[in-house]
C-alpha cells in the first residue's frame, strides 16, 4: 500500500452486514486520495471478522481486533495509533455517517493555518425520537459547561491530525469530548454540516440510560482536565 494521506478509522462492534457496503462507499468517495481504512473490531461476536477479511482482500483495508470488548473510545484510540496517515477521519461503522462527506472535511482541515479538528454536525439527524431528544439536552449542557464551540460533539465523523489525537488523555467515552480535548491541546475546532442516515442494518450498541449514566461523571472529568491543562510555548533558549 502507498503511504496514505488520510487514514479512515472505524470502530465496529457487531457490524457484519455494514462492513462491505461501507467500504464500497469509502472507496468511491476517496478514489483520488491516497488512503487506508483501519477497522477496529471491538470483540465482535457476529461475522464482523469474516467480513473484514473479505474487505481487506479487495480494498486498502486493515483490521485490528480487541480480544474482548473495550468500548468505542478504546477502539478509536487503537485505530489512530495503528494508522499511517498524517490525517485521521473517523466514521461510525454502521453506515449512518456518509463517507462522501470526508473529502470536504479533509479539505477544510488541510486548508487551516494550524492544527484543527473538523467536527461533523448532523443537521438532519436520522435517529429515534428518544435519541434525538436526549442528545439535544446533553449537547446543550455540555456546550454550556465546556464551551467547546461544537453543536454536535457526538457525531462519529471527524477529521483531525493524527499527532493531535496522540496528545489527548485517554479514557472511556472520550470520543464524545474530542472537541474539548482538541481545544485543550491548543487546536482550533470548527464544525461542518454533514449528511446523516438511518441505521438500516444491525442494532444500536447504546441505550439512552446507559449513555446518560456516565455522562455526568465524564462532563466533570473533562471540565477538570480543561482547568488543569497547561500548554507551554517554547522559545529560543
Ligand atoms: N469498538 C466499539 N465500537 C462500538 C461500541 N459501541 C458502539 N460502537 C461503534 O460505534 C458506532 C456508533 O455506535 P451505534 O451503536 O451506532 O450508536 P448510535 O448511533 O448512537 O446508536 C458504530 O460504528 C458502532 O459499531 C463498542 O463498544 N466498541
Ligand atoms: Mg449509529
Residue 2 pLDDT class (50, 70, 90 cuts): confident
Q: How many CB atoms lie within 10 A of CB 140?
A: 11
Q: Which ligand ends up closest to the CA of 154?
A: 1
- For the segment 87-106, what is each residue's pLDDT rounded down to a tens digit? 999 999 999 999 999 999 99
Domain ranges of the chain: 6-227
Kindly state the percentage of the chain with pLDDT values over 70: 100
In this structure, which ligand is nearest to the CA of 10? 1
Residue with CA at minimum distance from ligand 1 atom 11: 92
Tell me, what's the pLDDT at 1?
A: 65
Q: Ligand 1 pocket test: pick from 10, 11, 212 the residue with the most ligand atoms within 8 Å of its Cβ.
A: 11
pTM for the whole structure = 0.95
Which residue intervals of the chain are DSSP H helices?
A: 16-29, 48-58, 72-82, 102-111, 129-146, 162-166, 178-184, 208-227
Residues 74-91 have pLDDT tens digits of 999 999 999 999 999 999
* Structure confidence by residue, pLDDT tens digits, 205-228: 887 777 777 888 999 999 999 999
Give the range among 57-66, 133-142, 167-176, 190-199 with minimum mean pLDDT.
133-142
152 lines ligand 1 (CB under 6 A): no
Q: Is 42 in the pocket of ligand 1 (CB under 6 A)?
A: yes
Q: How far apart are CA 106 and CA 90, in angstroms?
A: 11
- The CA 121 to ligand 2 mean position distance, Å, reads 14
Q: Is the predicted pLDDT of residue 11 greater than 90, yes or no?
A: yes
What gap in Å lies between CA 40 and CA 36, rounded to an integer? 13
| Residue 208, pLDDT score | 73
C-alpha cell at position 52? 473484514
Which three cell numbers mark 140? Answer: 446543550
Ligand 1 pocket, residue 12 CB under 6 Å = yes
Looking at domain 6-227, which CATH architecture does it have? Alpha-Beta Complex (3.90)
Nearest CA, atom 12, ligand 1: 92
205 alpha carbon, closest ligand: 1
Amino acid at each position: 500500500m502507498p503511504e496514505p494521506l488520510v487514514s479512515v478509522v472505524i470502530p465496529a462492534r457487531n457490524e457484519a452486514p455494514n462492513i462491505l457496503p461501507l467500504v464500497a462507499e469509502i472507496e468511491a468517495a476517496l478514489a483520488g486520495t491516497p488512503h487506508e481504512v483501519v477497522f477496529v473490531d471491538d470483540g465482535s461476536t457476529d461475522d464482523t471478522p469474516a467480513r473484514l477479511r473479505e474487505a481487506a482482500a479487495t480494498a486498502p483495508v486493515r483490521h485490528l481486533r480487541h480480544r474482548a470488548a473495550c468500548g468505542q473510545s478504546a477502539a478509536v484510540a487503537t485505530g489512530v495509533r495503528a494508522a499511517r496517515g498524517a490525517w485521521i477521519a473517523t466514521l461510525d461503522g454502521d453506515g449512518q455517517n456518509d463517507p462522501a462527506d470526508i473529502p470536504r472535511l479533509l479539505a477544510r482541515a488541510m486548508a487551516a493555518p494550524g492544527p484543527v479538528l473538523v467536527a461533523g454536525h448532523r443537521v438532519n439527524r436520522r435517529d429515534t425520537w428518544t435519541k434525538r431528544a436526549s442528545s439535544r439536552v446533553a449537547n446543550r449542557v455540555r456546550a454550556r459547561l465546556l464551551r467547546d464551540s461544537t453543536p454536535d460533539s457526538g457525531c462519529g465523523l471527524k477529521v483531525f491530525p493524527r499527532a493531535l489525537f496522540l496528545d489527548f488523555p485517554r479514557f472511556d467515552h472520550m470520543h464524545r469530548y474530542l472537541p474539548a480535548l482538541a481545544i485543550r491541546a491548543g487546536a482550533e475546532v470548527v464544525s461542518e454540516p454533514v449528511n446523516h442516515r438511518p441505521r438500516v442494518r444491525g442494532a444500536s450498541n447504546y441505550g439512552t440510560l446507559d449513555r446518560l449514566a456516565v455522562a455526568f461523571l465524564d462532563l466533570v472529568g473533562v471540565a477538570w482536565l480543561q482547568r488543569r491543562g497547561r500548554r507551554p510555548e517554547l522559545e529560543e533558549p
